[in-house]
A and B are shown apart, each in its own frame.
Chain A
Amino acid sequence: MNKLPVTLIVNGREYKLTVDANERLLDTLRLQLRLTGTKEGCGVGECGACSVILDGQLVNSCMVLTAQCDGARVETVEGLGTATKLHPLQQAFIDYNAVQCGFCTPGMLMAAKALLDKNPDPSEAEIRQGLSGVLCRCTGYKQIADAVKAAAREEK
């Protein structure tokens, strides 16, 4: 397999990596960097559990080759906040019972962050549009949408 050198800036930290030409960004994050917060649910870009922010854009990391990301900035759930300093979205997800099994949660959080980064004051419809790439089978989405709304208010 062809190996390629790649530099990634993940959650503000620079990594110099060697990757397979066909290596998915999802695998680089999970296997090489051990950032296992990003999840794999379908492998075909449908469920959004692997959503991360790549140079400001929300992407399914299962559909992106790492080799194409040289020099890129990647944001994952691990960069969002810490136990002592939660991101407002993380706090709102806890406060609004937006988490059940939690498997879609990292993807939901990143989709919500990508949305609020661009649109700090989204309407209900804009929130739903912004989260529409991430599937959740537990919650029925209501408490997730409520949490994002609350976090937007909090950030203002």
Chain B
Amino acid sequence: MHTVNRPVRRVDALGKVLGESRYGADLRFEGMLYGKVLRTPFPYARILNIDTARALALPGVEAVLTAADIPGLHTFGTVIPNQQVLAKEVVRYHGDGVALVAAATPALAQQALDLIRVQYQELAGIFDPAQAMAEGAPLLHADSPGNIAAHHVLEKGEVEEGFARSDIILEREYETQLVEHAYIEPEVAVAVPQAGHRGVTVYGSIQNPFSCRKALSRILGLKLNEIRVIQSFMGGSFGGKDEIMSALCARAALLALKTGKPVQMVNTREESIREGYKRHPYKLRYKVGATREGKLMAMEIKIIADAGAYASQTPFVTWRSVVQATGPYVVPHVRTNIYGVYTNNCYTGAFRGFGSPQIIFAQESLLDELAEELGMEPLELRRLNGFRQGSVTATGQKLDNHQVSLMEVLDKAVEKSDYLAKRRQYAAQSGRFRKGIGLACSFRGCSLGAEGVDATGAMVSVQYDGSVYVYSGLAENGQGLQTIFSQIAAEELGISLERVRFMETDTALIPDGGPTVASRSTLMGGNAVRLAAAKVRETLLGAALEKLRAAAEELAWGGDRIWVKADPSRSISFEEAVNAACAKGELLTQLGWYKAPRVSWDDRHGQGDAYFTYVYGCQVAEVEVDMETGYTRVLKITAAHDVGRAINPETVRGQIYGGVAQGLGYALLEEMQQHEGEIKSLNFDEYLIPGICDMPEIEAIIVENPDGYGPYGAKTIGEPTLEVTAPAIASAVAQATGRRLRQLPLDLERVLLGRSLQKERYKRREGGC
């Protein structure tokens, strides 16, 4: 391989270091107006009346719209379309919009918002999922009994029997927090009416252009081919620019179609945090049974996830949780119930990890606690129960179609971090600063699995002069997709990377290949690029055959040439092959379409081959805790991840470092404050994400066990990197302090006092203190 598996430079870096790459907020069109949305001051209320007359009368204001002006439906959503682009009768959370304004300047638009008068009848909101599930609780969505947005069950074996045959049974409760994506670029959309016919073109920070187009079609009452969505450069997403972007794009499009002018809408950071969906807070109850020797016998798990006001991705997020809730361990008897529950809190949805960070925190903490009860080293407990080749998961899937590398990543992380020696060294400490070391493991299903249809496309188009376009239905969100796909195209065609130009994702130019989520791009999209490029290569080789007077199997290619294997002096350049093919009228543009291998799922029992392949990861965290302040400094993270094959080792390392940073924030710093549905931490002065000085040394260990399904064996890296960091840190903190904390994040209060003071703080404030 000449381009794949090498640390080539990113193809999109030049424009970014020059400051020339155009993000959504950098776009400007002739006659462009600025849009703003008015949001509800209440988390739950009935809208009685909206008076827009004074706003409309303000000079410079060109449109004021409410839900009544929506030509199509006012709701959208991937699974259960109950999210409102503008609230019609009822506002269901503090981020709901009720009216739109387009004006000549952003200041005028803001001024107009202040002139809109809305009469509300405030309703008693429900902010605790347990209350929402309780018998007789009012229904927040009429069609969802018990306020249940999703319920997944998994039954394997006979759980009661498993506990009966256990020597030790442990019951523990864990809790994880509400977390913000905190991409540095707030959301932006620009909608431009199409000239000469019905339709609208939308640009912006759109993670999933096709999901966005689908929502717009429903809301605007337009055909899919009347809506063109073109992705701008993305200032980060991490799962977070999906539904919020559909809403923003729809709003901009409503204003653009009403005024006949381009309309730009840019969220401030406060608007972004107030409206944007977050990572689900989970309450998890785990009961585990094991033999005296440490063999896991049974687990019973009940999880409640706060879905907030709308379904968003809750059904899928909680489904991944139910599949992976017992971790990468053989447990013969399992019963899991997970509920996603509607409340009037900020809605929750997709965020890197997607239902895994919560359960891994619980399950890895639980294993540590069990090990302690058994008087075992946590590592040994994992070695005793961890997946090996041919192990069967909780869903009854036999892991035999790929390399089950849990022990390999575990061993590598343990060895490189000197885990065992340090674990012994830190076992007994006194004094103010105390160190600890801990580890956590995971397995993760790649791509969408049995969530739904999983297929995607890419187009490779070779031009007369030997330059190449690559188009993809999946999108560059900053992760490096353009580089990876360009490398694969160059590899298949045997050409230099410089020939390849990656085109921005445009719904008019490529078939709908599903969303850029679930760490599926390299695996799914990479296969599609490879198929497309291979088809073009076959045509080029066909043309070369005549020139070189050789049979197909005698040819080799690479380094911008095609030659006869037995006699490399008989060769032609890539351009000559292109010319020869063109002269024969051959097609040098091909679409590659990759459908995921078969998966299966029995919804009643939670059994089946949930994903077609899996990846394995292990991280070791070393910390130092200040026992007087509760401040935890992470000294080192050692991260070993099996990626199948690293298409680009340098961008894989970038994913690992970045994922660890987000995992560290999840572990120690980040907790979105929300009181009675109102988000309190609206900017980075109150919501703290890791800065450069918070970051420890990170040792990234790339493990490669090529997968039969992946392009060149490549699988997945985006999400696994962050899902194991927090439990590894929590384990290290537990060793350092001698106290196990079961709630994230491990901030100063929790480490020092064992509990958070935040909730009391809001109660006190309301009391008038």
Q: Residues of A with Cβ closer than 8 Å to B?
A: 30, 34-44, 46-47, 49, 76-78, 80-83, 86, 90, 93-95, 97, 99-106, 109, 128-129, 131-132, 134-145
Q: Give the secondary structure class of B's interface.
A: loop
Chain B residues whose CB sits within 8 angstroms of the CB of A100 once the complex forms: 236, 478-480, 654, 658
- Is there contact, CB below 8 Å, between B19 and A46? no
B719 to chain A, nearest CB (A): 14
- Is there contact, CB below 8 Å, between B185 and A103? yes
Using a CB-CB cutoff of 8 Å, which residues 1-22 of chain B contact chain A? 7, 9-10, 12-22
- Is there contact, CB below 8 Å, between B13 and A93? yes
Q: Which 7 A-B pairs have the closest CB atoms?
A: A37-B19, A101-B478, A103-B235, A140-B657, A102-B16, A77-B19, A46-B684
Does B384 interact with chain A (Cβ within 8 Å)?
no
Roughly how many angstroms separate A102 CA and B479 CA in the complex, as a whole number?
10
Does B560 interact with chain A (Cβ within 8 Å)?
no
B701 to chain A, nearest CB (A): 14
Q: Give the secondary structure class of A's interface.
A: loop
B52 to chain A, nearest CB (A): 25
- Is there contact, CB below 8 Å, between B692 and A97? no
1/0 per residue, CB under 8 A from A, across B12-56: the answer is 111111111111011010000000000000000000000000000
Q: A36-B25, A136-B692 are in contact. List 14 more A-B contacts (CB 8 A).
A: A39-B235, A41-B185, A77-B19, A93-B13, A95-B9, A97-B10, A99-B16, A101-B185, A102-B21, A105-B17, A137-B661, A137-B662, A141-B695, A143-B650
Chain A residues whose CB sits within 8 angstroms of the CB of B689 once the complex forms: 135, 137
Does B184 interact with chain A (Cβ within 8 Å)?
yes
- Is there contact, CB below 8 Å, between A138 and B692? no
Does B191 interact with chain A (Cβ within 8 Å)?
no
Using a CB-CB cutoff of 8 Å, which residues 473-487 of chain B contact chain A? 477-480
- Is there contact, CB below 8 Å, between A103 and B19? no
Interface pairs (12), CB distance under 8 Å: A35-B19, A41-B186, A47-B184, A78-B18, A94-B13, A97-B650, A97-B653, A101-B235, A102-B478, A129-B693, A139-B658, A140-B661
Q: Residues of B with Cβ closer than 8 Å to A?
A: 7, 9-10, 12-23, 25-26, 28, 181-186, 233-238, 268-269, 477-480, 650-651, 653-654, 656-662, 683-685, 689, 691-693, 695, 698
- Is there contact, CB below 8 Å, between B9 and A138? no
Choose among B18, B183, B660, B693 the residue that contacts A81 (Cβ–Cβ < 8 A). B18
A85 to chain B, nearest CB (A): 11
- Is there contact, CB below 8 Å, between A83 and B18? yes
Report if A106-B185 is in contact (Cβ < 8 Å); known contacts: A44-B269, A137-B238, A140-B698: no
B655 to chain A, nearest CB (A): 9
Chain B residues whose CB sits within 8 angstroms of the CB of A46 once the complex forms: 683-685
Chain B residues whose CB sits within 8 angstroms of the CB of A93 once the complex forms: 13, 17
Chain B residues whose CB sits within 8 angstroms of the CB of A77 once the complex forms: 17-19
- Is there contact, CB below 8 Å, between B12 and A102? yes
B726 to chain A, nearest CB (A): 15
